[in-house]
Copies of this chain bind each other. A is one copy, B any other.
Amino acid sequence: MAKFKLDDTDHKILDMLIDNTRTPFTDIAKKLLISAGTVHVRVKKMEEAGIITGSSLSLDYKKLGYAFIAYVGIYLEKTSQTQFVLNRINEIPYVTVAHVTTGKFNLFCKIRAKDTDHAKNVIFQLDDIDGVYRTETMISLEESLNDKKRLMKSIFDEMTS
C-alpha cells in the first residue's frame, strides 16, 4: 500500500483519461509533446502498479428507470456478525456499496432502486438478514457528484509539495 511515484506527465495522462478512458493516446501525446509510445508505456506501468485498476462505463440510471437512491444504516445485534451480514448485503444487486463503519451504525450501505416501492422491498431484505437488529434510511432527493479531476489535482499537488 505504499505510495507510488507519479510524475507530472503521469498526472497529466491520468487527468486526460479520468473522464474519458477512450481518449486516444495520440491526442494525449500531442498535448503533452511526447510520443504515443511513451503514453502507452506509462499507462501500462500504472496499470501494473495497480494505480489504474480498470475503466468503467458511466450510465444514466435515471434513464434506465432507476432514479431512487438511499443510504441505509444498519445496527447489528452483535458486532461479531459483521462479516456474515456484509456478505449477505453484497448478494443484493441493488446495494451498490457497503461499508463497515464506526459511529452510530455497524454497517452502512447505498442502494439504488426503481422507486419507493422497490426501495422498500430492498430495505426489507436488509432488515431480514440474520443478525440485523434495526435499519435507518436516508433518502437522497438529489445527488451531486464531484469532479474527479479536482480530487486528482489535490492528490497530485499534495504529492509534489
Complex contacts, A86 vs chain B, CB 8 Å: 142, 144
Tell me if A155 is interfacial: C-beta within 8 Å of chain B.
yes
Residues in B with CB closer than 8 Å to A39 are none
CB-CB under 8 A from A141, the residues of chain B are 99-102
A129 beta carbon closer than 8 Å to chain B: no
Known contacts being A58-B56, A71-B71, A150-B93, is A144 close to B99, with CB within 8 Å?
yes
Beyond A53-B60, A93-B153, A98-B143, 16 additional contacts (C-beta under 8 Å) are: A6-B64, A22-B22, A52-B57, A52-B58, A56-B148, A86-B144, A93-B150, A93-B154, A97-B145, A99-B140, A99-B144, A101-B139, A102-B138, A103-B137, A104-B138, A114-B158
- Total copies of this chain within the assembly: 2
Tell me the A residues contacting B by CB distance below 8 Å: 1-4, 6, 14, 17-22, 49-67, 69, 71, 73, 86, 90, 93-105, 108, 112, 114, 136-148, 150-155, 158-159
Whole-angstrom CA separation of A31 from B140 in the bound complex: 39
Closest 10 CB pairs of A and B: A93-B150, A99-B140, A100-B142, A103-B138, A21-B55, A93-B154, A54-B58, A100-B141, A3-B65, A53-B58
